[in-house]
Amino acid sequence: MREAVIDDCPQILELIQELADYEKEPDAVRNTVEDLEQHLFGNSPQAFAHVAEDESGVVGIAIWYLTYSTWEGRHGIHLEDLYVRANQRGLGTGSALLRTLANICVERGYKRLEWQVLDWNEPAIKFYDAIGAGALDGWTTRRLDGDALQALGTQGAK
């Protein structure tokens, strides 16, 4: 496992598309190599990536960003995407990527490593359960995007 470098961006985008395909959203990816280069390696990156690789290249990604807990008064990591190519699953790649992020949390004093998982993704849920990652009962993810985001974001705008 290592921090991603700018030259990884084409392969990172390939894996993002594979993840979208796996999650039954093949047409949802609008990201580009140029976007990744800017967002992960530009002047003020707000997102970060770690990769797993073998002789064929990048085989797994962990894309993440910082969160902040007002209750803890500390940062945490939100894992946006964890994806390992199908032919690499079961070899410890996903565990190693998560362990890398957990290590960052411990070293930097972050209090949380959190992510979301689709409720139908039983293999991932079993994997997360096995490493001790619990579900947050009573919480529901909400999202504001598209027309609703535009409408709220322009309310009262001058």
What's 100's domain CATH number?
Answer: 3.40.630.30
Instruction: Supply the pLDDT for residue 158.
Output: 64
In total, how many domains does the chain have? Answer: 1
3-class SS letters over 49-62: EEEEEECCEEEEEE
Question: What range does the domain containing 81 cover?
Answer: 2-154
Instruction: Supply the pLDDT for residue 132.
Output: 92
What span, in angstroms and rounded, lies between the C-alpha atoms of 11 and 85? 11
Edge-first strand listing for the sheet containing 2-3: 2-3, 48-54, 57-69, 74-84, 113-115
Instruction: Supply the pLDDT for residue 122.
Output: 94
Tens-digit pLDDT profile for the chain (158 aa)? 999 999 999 999 999 999 999 999 999 999 999 999 999 999 999 999 999 999 999 999 999 999 999 999 999 999 999 999 999 999 999 999 999 999 999 999 999 999 999 999 999 999 999 999 999 999 888 889 899 999 999 987 66
| 139 φ, ψ (degrees, to nearest 5) | -110, 140
- What the block records as the tokens of 62 is 């962990």
Instruction: Supply the pLDDT for residue 27.
Output: 97
**Could you list the active site residues?**
128
CB 50 within 8 A of CB 62: yes
Instruction: Supply the pLDDT for residue 94.
Output: 95
